[in-house]
Amino acid sequence: MARRSYRRANGLMLLEARDPRMRALKRSGHVAEIHGDRVWDSSFLLMRQLQHEPLERRARVLEIGCGWGLLGQFCAKRFGARVHGIDADPNVLPYLDLHAAVNGVRMTAERRRFEQLTTAFLSDFDVVLGADICFWDSLTRPLFNLIRRARRAGVGRILIADPGRAPFQALASRCERQLDAVSRVALEIRRPVHAAGDVLAIG
């Protein structure tokens, strides 16, 4: 019997590298350049947090550093959210489109960098989510500035999950010192993956 080329996680399908559609994307040159080559565990940490503290129905969600967009697709499926993703690496976007299609949800996405998200752009969203996006020291400052712009733009809730790397800890500490309504929650999950880390919540 043929081996399955996908696994199920939180009601979503996650295609394996051996799936013919995934292989075709790779063959056509779509190779991630900034670590967006799989779905990272922090996405599942954030899904767990959202199971505990759900989004409002049809919330407008922006997933930053979205990679394949599974987190955004979870929000679309579970909460009927209207979801948009941004990522600096255009090579991840076809994988996002493919996963949105196999999961039967609508998620738009585009190539943009954190630094390019203006207050006007951010004002179209109620919620900003990011999983495993603060992994270099050079990302701490642009992400802090982005969070500040998002608050100014009226974004009600910002959630960033991370396994606990130093740049993320620096980001969280800076948010705690300089912004209102900040909390940091340590989480450990056993399903669909075994993972531990922190969720930084602003708002």
Ligand X SMILES: C[S@@+](CC[C@H](N)C(=O)[O-])C[C@H]1O[C@@H](n2cnc3c(N)ncnc32)[C@H](O)[C@@H]1O
Tell me which residue has tokens 């450990």. Answer: 188
Site track 86-115 with ligand X (rule: CB under 6 A), x = hit: -xxx--x--------------------xx-
The torsion angle over the Cα atoms of residues 13, 24, 36 and 148, rounded to 10 degrees, is -80
CB neighbour class for 43 (10 Å; exposed up to 12, middle 13-18, buried from 19): buried
User: Does position 125 bind ligand X by CB under 6 A?
Assistant: no
Q: Based on CB atoms, which residue is closest to ligand X, 57 or 94?
A: 94
Query: CA-CA distance, 128 to 26, in Å (whole number)?
Result: 29
Amino acid type, 182: V
* Residue 177 in tokens: 């010192």
Of 12, 50, 55, 66, the one binding ligand X (CB under 6 A) is 66
> Strand 6-9 to strand 60-64: parallel, antiparallel, or no bridges (unpaired)?
unpaired
CB 42 to ligand X: min, Å: 5
Of 10, 36, 107, 202, the one binding ligand X (CB under 6 A) is 36
User: Does position 40 bind ligand X by CB under 6 A?
Assistant: yes
User: Does position 43 bind ligand X by CB under 6 A?
Assistant: yes
Query: CA-CA distance, 92 to 50, in Å (whole number)?
Result: 24
* Contacting range for ligand X; rule: CB under 6 A; set: 9-17, 33-41, 97-105, 178-186: 33-41
The residue among 194, 19, 193 whose CA lies nearest residue 99 is: 19
CA separation (Å) from 80 to 53, 55, 98?
A: 15, 9, 19
Q: Based on CB atoms, which residue is closest to ligand X, 164 or 181?
A: 164
Of 12, 22, 72, 132, the one binding ligand X (CB under 6 A) is 132
User: Does position 198 bind ligand X by CB under 6 A?
Assistant: no
User: Does position 133 bind ligand X by CB under 6 A?
Assistant: yes
Binding region for ligand X (CB under 6 A) = 34-36, 39-40, 42-43, 65-67, 87-89, 92, 113-114, 131-133, 135
